[in-house]
Amino acid sequence: MRRLLIPAALLTLVSCAAPGSGRVTLSNFVYDRARVETFVTSFPDCELRVGMTATSFELPLNGTRVIDTPAGSDVCWRRIEPPFAEATPPGVPLTPPWNRAFTTSGRIVDARL
């Protein structure tokens, strides 16, 4: 009986452990070149707060970017260039709402632009 209780107790302890770090993989399979903004947050919404900074980068066609997150954090991201046929005045980027990748529990998320 003891042989069964020890592994069961260890399994219970492992399943109650704190979540680990997460990871988001952003892939661009559609746009020639996409400008992307991301930031890591532990807050329940995708709003930049004091002390937080968004990172901007370009993701080429068939490009991938991996973003690692600390435990308990999510990634907010958005593409800030307009789609193919949408016309905007020169120099004015279209700013869509933020997307959120839920990595708080240590998940690995694959997202496409």
Residue 98 included in any domain: yes
CA dist 103 and 70 (Å) reads 9
Q: Give backbone dihedrals phi and psi of 83, rounded to 5 degrees, phi first.
A: -65, 175
Q: Which domain holds residue 67?
A: 21-112
CA dist 5 and 57 (Å) reads 52
Residue 102 included in any domain: yes
Within 10 Å of residue 90's Cβ, how many Cβ atoms?
A: 4
Is the pLDDT confidence value at 73 over 80? yes
Is the pLDDT confidence value at 80 over 60? yes
Residue 26 included in any domain: yes
Domain of residue 49, CATH code: 2.60.40
Residue 58 included in any domain: yes
Is the pLDDT confidence value at 59 over 80? yes
pTM for the whole structure: 0.69
Residue 8 included in any domain: no
Residue 97 included in any domain: yes
Identify which of 2-6, 53-57, 83-87 has the greatest average pLDDT: 53-57
Q: Give backbone dihedrals phi and psi of 97, rounded to 5 degrees, phi first.
A: -70, 165
If one counts the domains in the chain, the total is: 1
Residue 5 included in any domain: no
